Structure 1
Amino acid sequence: MANWQEVKIVINRAAVEGAYAVLDNWGIANFAEEDSALINHAQEMGWGDYFPEIQHSEQVTITCYFSEPTFSSEKLQELKGDLVDLHRFGFDPGPVVVQLGEISEADWAHAWKAYYRPLRVGRVWIQPSWEPLEQETKGTDLIVYLDPGMAFGSGTHPTTAMCIQFLQDLNLDGKLLWDVGTGSGILAIVAAKLGAHVQAVDIDPVAVKVAKENMELNDLTFSVEQGSLGDLEGNPQVVVANIVAHVIGPMLKDVQRVLAPRGFFVAAGVIEERDPEILSLAQDAGLRLLRRTQVGEWVGYLFGRGD
């Protein structure tokens, strides 16, 4: 497995634009920026529910990646000199740190597979597609072969397991089910194996690709397209969405509107502190809470259409 070279740059936020100009002059295009201000802004704007605990800093870390050895110690010092010299152009780079390192390609793409094991949720077995099935199963068990790749939904997250259990508790045979934000396709696959007619959407094209691949791994055929709730047509008996509170909240009225009479909405991905807000919005939308499940700080719901 190939190793990648990485160069970490720590520089004042006030000089980031200048640093990008330096990187451009060096022909460096593959890099990632870590900035506490970006996380703080996302939190203030409500773009998510779960954020890492970080200390605010006036410095930013820029990590550059190279598929082949590119930097010697001498070149590293030359790059650092160009960054320090940004003060000549009106920037304040502060105490610039430049470090050379190496990262294995396996760390990015495959190392996580060593920790991904078969998982049982009710009568559903989530089976890694690259491992042989060794578990003793019953005739009523459903086997879901999965390679989540870069998409969300391995079955190990509490919210995914909540949704899988809710789906098993419903009679899905012959029902139209929409999976909104399908990720790896795990919930769509479970629903299809439980007898539902499935339409799955995700705004992320990578997720759509992964979901289609997992669908084929399980010898299933259903619709998987790039899009959101508003792109689907019809009146499903069940809608499932394992996403986040700031997406679930605004879609509740639309879910109630499109659901068939006596339909169900399975929702998860909500952290405990957003629970009262989601329950209030659901009530306002005309959805009845039938069941609520909590694991740690994560909450999942089974709603019924209020008619």
Structure 2
Amino acid sequence: MSLHEVRAVVPIEAVETVDDLLLEFGDERWSVFEDIVTRTAFVLGVFEDSTEASAGWEAVSPRFEGLAVGKPEFRELADADWRESYKLHFKPWRIGRLHWVPVWERDTYALPAGDQVVWLDPGMAFGTGNHETTRLCVERMVELARAGVVPSSVVDAGCGSGILAISAVKLGFGAVAGFDNDPEAVRVAVENAELNAVADRVDFRIGDLDTGFGGRRWALVLANIQADVLMRFAARLLAAVEPGGVLVLSGILAQENEAVRACFAAQAPDARFEHRTLGEWSDVLVRT
């Protein structure tokens, strides 16, 4: 299988900004890599053919205006070449007893007794989960597990490639589901559940914030979406949480956090709120 790569140099000082822009853009075929030893960085996109590669660059490049991102280089590469290149940048990470490990380390990774692992495949549509917005959600789930709280039901709204839902299963949480309005994301989420041998324990479906909750309430609702969407659907998200349940909101820039909290507090004045910041990003935890 041949893939097509688009690569452009990124100034070191612009790496975080480009990373944030790509997150907002929402196309997981794009990534930013930084080599802290050589002090170089680049934005990288991988596509199935040259036409998609050209269209992908035309779509994303206007977002880099004013950031001195270099001219794109296009090249064809074998799938094996892509995976070998990816291995240089994709390393295992962990929070508490939960580990996220690339699948090629399955036979060599030393998992401590009692810990759980989520195997990750560097497919074009499966991120590593190591962005601040995802880590904030995972940290909240790990903290619940440490406190002995095991939600009886969990739903990941806007599940993307399924990393949060799969992590919830690995933590031993109850009935787990996830939905996304992108059929391709749902397909990849199912594939990754199969990779982690949990396909029979998580229900991925196509849906949006109006239809995805299935008319029921959940003990834990995860929503790693951008702030304006969270605020627009505040009432819907709160209605999806069962009494005494927890709502975790992420995808919120630090400067947007106060506005998000105020929006949800207006809808749920008796709820208890917590928030934290990681880099330029933040989360909001709502206890109903």
On whether the aligned pair clears a TM of 0.5, the verdict is: yes
Q: Distance in 2 between matches of 1:191 and 1:118?
A: 18
Q: Which amino acid aligns with 1:162?
A: L
Does residue 274 in structure 1 map to residue 256 in structure 2?
Answer: yes
**Aligned CA distance change for structure 1 residues 3 and 248 (closer, same or farther; 3 Å):** closer
Q: Which amino acid aligns with 1:182?
A: C
Q: Is the 8 A contact 1:36 1:54 kept in 2?
A: no
Shift of 1:102: 4.8
1:137 pairs with one of 111, 114, 135: 111
2:203 pairs with one of 203, 223, 226: 223
Q: Distance in 2 between matches of 1:198 and 1:113?
A: 30
User: What secondary structure is seen at the aligned counterpart in 2 of 1:168?
Assistant: helix
Shift of 1:293: 1.7
Does residue 192 in structure 1 map to residue 204 in structure 2?
Answer: no
Matches within 5 A, 1:143-222: 143-147=117-121, 149-151=123-125, 153-170=127-144, 171=148, 173=150, 175-194=152-171, 195-220=173-198, 221=200, 222=202
Q: Which amino acid aligns with 2:137?
A: C
Question: Residue deviations 1:57-97, cap 9 Å, x none?
Answer: xxxx9x9xxxxxxxxxxxxxxxxxxxxxxxxxxxxxxxxxx
Q: Distance in 2 between matches of 1:271 and 1:157?
A: 13
Matches within 5 A, 1:107-126: 110=83, 111-126=85-100
Q: Is the 8 A contact 2:5 2:77 kept in 1?
A: no
**Aligned CA distance change for structure 1 residues 133 and 182 (closer, same or farther; 3 Å):** farther
Q: Is the 8 A contact 1:153 1:185 kept in 2?
A: no
Q: Distance in 1 between matches of 2:186 and 2:226?
A: 18
Shift of 1:196: 2.2
**Aligned CA distance change for structure 1 residues 180 and 260 (closer, same or farther; 3 Å):** same
Paired residue for 1:240?
222
Shift of 1:179: 0.4
Shift of 1:202: 1.0
RMSD, matched Cα:
3.2
**Aligned CA distance change for structure 1 residues 261 and 137 (closer, same or farther; 3 Å):** same
Q: Distance in 2 between matches of 1:183 and 1:197?
A: 18
Shift of 1:270: 0.9
Does residue 285 in structure 1 map to residue 264 in structure 2?
Answer: no
Paired residue for 1:264?
246
User: What secondary structure is seen at the aligned counterpart in 2 of 1:161?
Assistant: helix
Q: Distance in 2 between matches of 1:190 and 1:5?
A: 30
Q: Is the 8 A contact 1:36 1:55 kept in 2?
A: no
Q: Is the 8 A contact 1:289 1:303 kept in 2?
A: yes
Name the larger-Rg structure. 1
Q: Which amino acid aligns with 1:235?
A: R
Q: Which amino acid aligns with 1:115?
A: H
Q: Is the 8 A contact 2:151 2:219 kept in 1?
A: no
**Aligned CA distance change for structure 1 residues 248 and 152 (closer, same or farther; 3 Å):** farther
Residue range with higher mean Cα deviation, 233-242 or 288-297:
288-297
Question: Residue deviations 1:11-65, cap 9 Å, x none?
Answer: xxxxxxxxxxxxxxxxx965427669995xxxxxxxxxxx545379xxxx9x9xx
Shift of 1:241: 1.1
Could you tell me the TM-score, scaled by structure 1's length? 0.65
User: What secondary structure is seen at the aligned counterpart in 2 of 1:255?
Assistant: helix
Q: What is the number of residues matched between the two proteins?
A: 231
Paired residue for 1:294?
277
Shift of 1:261: 0.4
Paired residue for 1:104?
76
Matches within 5 A, 1:20-59: 31-32=54-55, 39=62, 52-54=64-66
Q: Distance in 1 between matches of 2:273 and 2:151?
A: 22
Q: Distance in 2 between matches of 1:32 and 1:106?
A: 20
Q: Distance in 2 between matches of 1:103 and 1:208?
A: 29
**Aligned CA distance change for structure 1 residues 35 and 218 (closer, same or farther; 3 Å):** closer
Q: Is the 8 A contact 2:186 2:205 kept in 1?
A: yes
Q: Is the 8 A contact 1:198 1:223 kept in 2?
A: yes
* 5+ long unaligned stretches in structure 1: 7-27, 40-50, 64-100
Q: Distance in 2 between matches of 1:272 and 1:124?
A: 26
